[in-house]
Amino acid sequence: MQLPIPSHCPNTNFIYFILSLLISINLCTKTESTSTSCNEGYSFSKMGRNITHCKKLGTLKAEFGWNYHGRVHDFPNNRSSTLVDIFFSAPPVGATGWVAWGLNPRKPFMAGTRALIGFKHPNGSMHLETYNITIDTKRGCQLSSSAIEVEVNDKNITYSADSGFLTIIATLSLPQEYNISKLNLVWQVGSVKDSMPQMHDDTLKNFDSAETIDLSSGKSTSVRHRLHYHRTAHGVLSIVGWGTLVPIGAITARYFKEFPVKFCGWYPLHVSCQISGYLIGSTGWVIGIYLGSSSRYYDFTTHRDFGIIIFTFSTLQVLALFVRPKKGDDHLRYWNIYHHLLGYTLIVLITINIFKGINILRPEKIWKWTYMGLVSVLAFVVISLEVFTWIKFVKCKRLNHRP
Ligand SMILES: *[C@@H]1O[C@H](CO)[C@@H](O)[C@H](O)[C@H]1NC(C)=O
Ligand SMILES: *[C@@H]1O[C@H](CO)[C@@H](O)[C@H](O)[C@H]1NC(C)=O
Ligand SMILES: *[C@@H]1O[C@H](CO)[C@@H](O)[C@H](O)[C@H]1NC(C)=O
Ligand SMILES: *[C@@H]1O[C@H](CO)[C@@H](O)[C@H](O)[C@H]1NC(C)=O
Ligand SMILES: *[C@@H]1O[C@H](CO)[C@@H](O)[C@H](O)[C@H]1NC(C)=O
Ligand SMILES: *[C@@H]1O[C@H](CO)[C@@H](O)[C@H](O)[C@H]1NC(C)=O
C-alpha cells in the first residue's frame, strides 16, 4: 500500500521532539544516590542523637538515618553480629496510620521482611512492635506482631505534630546473613483499623519502597531508579500514540470525509495518523510488557489486560485495511460498520486504560492533569464539529425542501 505522507500530520518533527524529551529525562535520572549531611532537613536531625549517615528514601517522603558501630562478638551466644542504630521517619496515612521499616535477608521486596511497625493509638499511646512479614501477608492475611531473628534494642517511636512524621528509633543487632554492604531495606506506610495495620495502597510508590543499600558508604540502588526511564517512555509513548494520534485520525475520518467538510486528503491523513499512532503506541506497549515482566512481585492486572486488548484490536484495525472491499462492493458497508464499531470501542478502551495507568502513579498530579487537558481539548473539538455537523445538516435539509 502506497500512501503519500501529508504534511498535516504531526509526523517526524513531533516524534523527534518526543525522543529528545525522553533522552533528556533519561540524562537527568541518576541510577545511584548517596547520603548527605544529617544536620538539617531531616525530621530526626534535632533529636540530639549521634547519626553518622542519612538519606532521603525514594518514595513516600521517607527518611533514613543510621549509625554503624561495626561488628561485635556476642559472648553468651558465641556469635558475631553487627550493631546499627537506625532512625526512620515517614508521614503516616492520616494521624493514626502506621509506618514500617524493615530488612529483608533475601531481596529488596516485601515478603520475608523483618519489620518494625509503629503507629499512634487513638488514645494517644504509641505502638511499636516487630513483625515477620511473610508471603501470607502479601496474600492479605491479617498481620500481627511476632518475634524476628534480628535483635531489637532501645526501640522508641515519636510523633511530631509539627512535621506530621512518625520516627522509629532502634538499635539492631544483625545476624550474619545480613551483609551491611548490601542490605535490603523495605519501608511502607498505611492505615490502622482496630489497632491492626491494614494493607497499604496499591500504587507504584508503595511497591517501589525498597532499596539495596551499603551502610558503610550510603550508596544505594533501587528498582525505582532503574525503571524510571522505561516508565516515563511507556507513559509518553502511550499517550502520544494511542491517546492523541488515534483519536485525531478518527476525527479526521468522521468529519472530513464528506460531511460536514469534504477534504480530499482525509484518507491519507487518516491512515497516516492511525499508522503512526499504532507504531508509537505499540512501542509504548512493548515497553509496558517489559515493565510488567520485570516487576515480578506485584502486577497491575487490569491495566495489563486492557493494554493487551487494545493492542489486539488496533492490530485488527490495521490488518483490516488490507482486506477493505473496493468502492461499490456491497461488502464495503459491513466493513465500514465493523471498522467504526471496533474503532470507537478502541478509543473508549484507550481512554479508560490511560486513566488506569495514571492511577497507578497516584498521587502524582502532572500526568493526570496533562492527560485530562488533552482529553478536554479533543472532546471540545469533537463537540464543536458535531454541533457544526448538525447545524449544516439542518440547513441543507431546509434548502432541499424549498419549493
Ligand atoms: C558518634 O558515632 C561515631 C561512630 O560510631 C563516633 O566515632 C563518635 O565518637 C560518636 N559521637 C558522639 C558525640 O557520640
Ligand atoms: C565459638 O564458636 C566458634 C566457631 O563459630 C568455635 O570455634 C568456638 O569453640 C566457640 N566457642 C565457645 C566457647 O563455644
Ligand atoms: C490505648 O489503646 C490501646 C489499644 O486499644 C491499648 O493497648 C493501650 O493500653 C491504651 N493505652 C492507654 C494509655 O490507655
Ligand atoms: C519469619 O517468616 C519466615 C518465612 O517468611 C520464616 O522462615 C521465619 O522462620 C520466620 N521467623 C520467625 C522468627 O518466626
Ligand atoms: C521515647 O521517646 C520519647 C520522646 O523522645 C521519650 O519521652 C520516652 O522516654 C522514650 N521512651 C523510651 C522507652 O525510651
Ligand atoms: C558482603 O557483600 C560484599 C559485596 O557484595 C562482598 O564483597 C562481601 O564479601 C560480603 N560479605 C559477607 C560477610 O558476606
Closest CA to 207 of 368, 91, 30, 360: 360
Q: Considering the chain, what is the average pLDDT of its residues? A: 86
Verify cis geometry, omega within 30 degrees of 0, for the bond prior to 10: no
Domain that holds residue 188: 35-218
46 and 22 inside one domain: no
252 and 207 inside one domain: no
Per-residue model confidence (pLDDT) at position 36 = 52
Q: Which of 171-180, 294-303, 358-367 has the lowest mean pLDDT?
A: 294-303
H or E segment to which residue 108 belongs: none
- pTM for the whole structure: 0.79
Quick check: 24 pLDDT over 60?
A: no
Q: Which of 93-102, 138-147, 173-182 has the lowest mean pLDDT?
A: 138-147
What is the grid cell recorded at 212?
539495596
181 and 54 inside one domain: yes
What band does 2 get if pLDDT is binned at 50, 70 and 90? Answer: very low
Cβ–ligand 4 distance for 100 under 6 Å, the answer no
173 - beta bridge partners?
83, 151
191 and 298 inside one domain: no
Q: Where are the beta strands (DSSP E) in 92-206?
A: 98-103, 114-120, 126-132, 151-160, 165-174, 183-190, 192-193, 196-197
What band does 39 get if pLDDT is binned at 50, 70 and 90? Answer: low
Nearest atom in ligand 4 to the alpha carbon of residue 132 is 1
Q: What is the pLDDT of residues 44-80, one digit of tens each?
A: 877 777 788 889 998 999 999 999 887 877 777 777 8
53 and 196 inside one domain: yes
260 and 121 inside one domain: no
Work out the number of other CB atoms within 10 angstroms of the CB of residue 150.
20
Domain end marker among 200, 218, 236: 218
Per-residue model confidence (pLDDT) at position 7 = 41
CA 130, 131, 137 angle in degrees (round to 5)? 165
**Residue 4 belongs to a domain:** no
Nearest ligand for residue 65 CA = 1
CATH number (domain holding residue 339): 1.20.120.1770
**Residue 310 belongs to a domain:** yes
**Residue 18 belongs to a domain:** yes
Mean pLDDT of 139-154: 88
What band does 202 get if pLDDT is binned at 50, 70 and 90? Answer: confident
Quick check: 31 pLDDT over 50?
A: no
Residue nearest to atom 5 of ligand 1 (CA): 69
**Residue 229 belongs to a domain:** yes
What band does 8 get if pLDDT is binned at 50, 70 and 90? Answer: very low
140 and 234 inside one domain: no
Residue nearest to atom 3 of ligand 3 (CA): 121
Quick check: 16 pLDDT over 60?
A: no
Q: Cell 498505611: give the residue.
A: 190
Q: Which of 169-173, 237-241, 293-297 has the lowest mean pLDDT?
A: 293-297
Cβ–ligand 4 distance for 136 under 6 Å, the answer no
**Residue 6 belongs to a domain:** no
Q: Cell 487513638: give the residue.
A: 122
Candidate from 44, 46, 127, 158 with most ligand 5 atoms within 8 A of CB, to mutate = 158
**Residue 105 belongs to a domain:** yes
**Residue 382 belongs to a domain:** yes
212 and 231 inside one domain: no
Answer with the residue of higher pLDDT: 80 or 152.
152
Quick check: 403 pLDDT over 60?
A: no
- Residue 1 near residue 321, CB atoms below 8 Å: yes
Per-residue model confidence (pLDDT) at position 328 = 82
With the CA atoms of 357, 103, 88 and 100 taken in that order, what torsion angle do they form, in degrees rounded to the nearest 10? 60
56 and 142 inside one domain: yes
Closest CA to 278 of 324, 238, 223, 227: 238
Work out the number of other CB atoms within 10 angstroms of the CB of residue 147.
11
* C-alpha–C-alpha distance, residues 46 and 258, integer Å: 72
Closest CA to 215 of 85, 106, 104: 85
Per-residue model confidence (pLDDT) at position 354 = 96
**Residue 211 belongs to a domain:** yes
How many domains does the chain contain in total?
A: 2
Residue nearest to atom 1 of ligand 6 (CA): 179
